[in-house]
Amino acid sequence: MKYSQLRTTLPETDRTRHRRLREQGSLDRAELDAILDAGFVCHFGLVIDGNPMVVPTVYGSDGRNLYFHGSVASRGLVASPEATVCVTVTHVDGLVLARSVFEHGINYRSAMIYGVPRLVTDPTEKREGLHCLTEQSAPGQWDYARQPNRKEMAATSLLALSLEEASVKIRTGAPEDGDGPDAALGIWAGTLPLVTAWGEPEADPLLPDHIEPPEHITARRNTRAGQAGRQHTP
């Protein structure tokens, strides 16, 4: 059973309450998991020395926590170890082109996670967290490549952020001015989908010619990114 199946709805807090565009908000925990599963890059927002800072970084989700390399927030966490951070993940699915510029928009899926990051010190969780982070972006790569040795594990900081406090928003569909006064203008309106796909693997120039890319890499050629996700560890 996935962890998310234990709680089917997201708790609503003052920080996650949908105050604007409420119809695009969702409290469905499965929607949060789907958004996180479909990506591997997030934006990590925190305050350092009184100044806001937003850092793009890779992440891994196991359905309970998001995992990040500790270097992302090391300065801020040393100064304020109990400081709350905000992490966002966004997928842009297309432009919504209406009859008026005022009604233009974007089809998207987004999640915001709030909380106090935790430094992972347990060796077992640390290895599992790094495995999760690696497999999020390149499924199959953890078992294919050389795994971190003891020295590398000791030199790596890993943060965990609980998924307990999160906000989800999703916008789909056509423009919303088709039944208004602008419908008589004779202007084209609709959506322009945005599709991101994986390309051909490009070998390291120093790689010997006889070494071919593994199947878990070649299988992703021409497949859509930002759609199919991993399966959580039960």
Domains located in the chain, CATH noted: 3-95+104-173+197-218 (2.30.110.10)
Query: How large is the average pLDDT for residues 108-135?
Result: 96
Whole-angstrom distance, CA of residue 220 vs CA of residue 108: 23
pLDDT of residue 98 exceeding 70: yes
Percentage of the residues of the chain whose pLDDT score is greater than 70: 89
Q: Dump pLDDT digits (tens) for 149-187.
A: 999 999 999 999 999 999 999 999 999 999 999 999 999
Q: Dump pLDDT digits (tens) for 44-85.
A: 998 888 889 899 999 999 999 999 987 766 666 655 667 899
pLDDT of residue 88 exceeding 80: yes
CA dist list (Å): 220 to 143, 177, 207, 225: 17, 38, 20, 9
pLDDT reported for residue 25: 78
pLDDT grade for 16, boundaries at 50, 70 and 90: confident
pLDDT of residue 3 exceeding 60: no
| Stated pTM of the model | 0.88
pLDDT grade for 140, boundaries at 50, 70 and 90: very high
Report the helix count and the strand count for the chain, using DSSP H and E.
Answer: 6, 11
CB atoms within 10 A of CB 31: 19
pLDDT reported for residue 7: 67
Query: How large is the average pLDDT for residues 25-37?
Result: 92
DSSP 9: B
Q: Dump pLDDT digits (tens) for 192-211.
A: 999 999 999 999 999 999 99
